[in-house]
Structure 1
């Protein structure tokens, strides 16, 4: 994010609890950050929804930064995933901002944006944990984790337990559910009969490849603002 985007987002967070992720919030944030309405609109073309997505992406980046400085190799893999989800929640500065975001992304016109944001979080977690899959597993891992993270956020929003202990337990339960699925898949592969029956579908799925990672470039027409 540019320095101007950061200022606008920080200013917006003081208004989100009262006005939600709305045009009023963006207008007040621009005023407080001393940014013209034209520049604010250039940085966030769709207004408040782009502002909310920027807030989500910043949280993803902060989570990835924290994970990069941790000694994850000494942890069981399931514990690494659980810790990554918990850290993603910890970097959220205001629970009300997330609550308002879930309301925004529940609207039909923004539901695809919300789903994409969840997928992005799952991708950042798997990437930070060193995932190297390039086949159908690339998709199934992220789809599964996106579901786990999304349900965890909804639980966390209503959790008033001491230091989020109930949310921690909820994360552990959800990951246990995922591990059961993985064990079932391994059992299918190990069973000669089931392996033969599923040979066709498995062959087709084996041809699926993860999308190529495209380098980030500044395309013409993109307002970059001040860094």
Structure 2
């Protein structure tokens, strides 16, 4: 099936459901066989492979000024977030399936679980930056699901060109969730990520094993970093 990877990048018509700022994102990616992922993704979703392999991404970052459209800006939330994901398509629309999402805000966890049926978890999280070097640590409360990375930001790459591997990994604007036997779809809109190279100095994690995936103790195949984007959120809606 030929997927239209450009249509989801366009802004949906009408008012958004909320706005967010995503800052200092690290994209860590490993490849695995399709069989290692298939049982963990709803049958209604097709795996979106690159060169015959499924890709697992871990994305730690900062969330700023998170608010639904009806909430005054003064009450917006700032917190740390980390998502574990793979890539799928549904009825010809490519997007993201989340195995788990960690957040340092208990309120954000509850709101996302109720409003979006997403597998959010409350975690102890911290990050520090010294020039181009960044430390980011997350530990899920009450569970052995940890992610601890020490990395270095590299040269700027700019926006990813359509058709490239970088565009396949980074430019994802649809998310899918399962709720009472139905697939929900949400959409985000933002400018293309201004991407940089990145280099991991140390990475220890049990997040993938906690999700039922391979432990993935090997070095990731590819990394990217972005200073961030301003985001509009639309949905969710049943498909």
Task: Pick the structure with more helix per residue.
Answer: 1
Larger radius of gyration: 1
Task: Pick the structure with more strand per residue.
Answer: 2
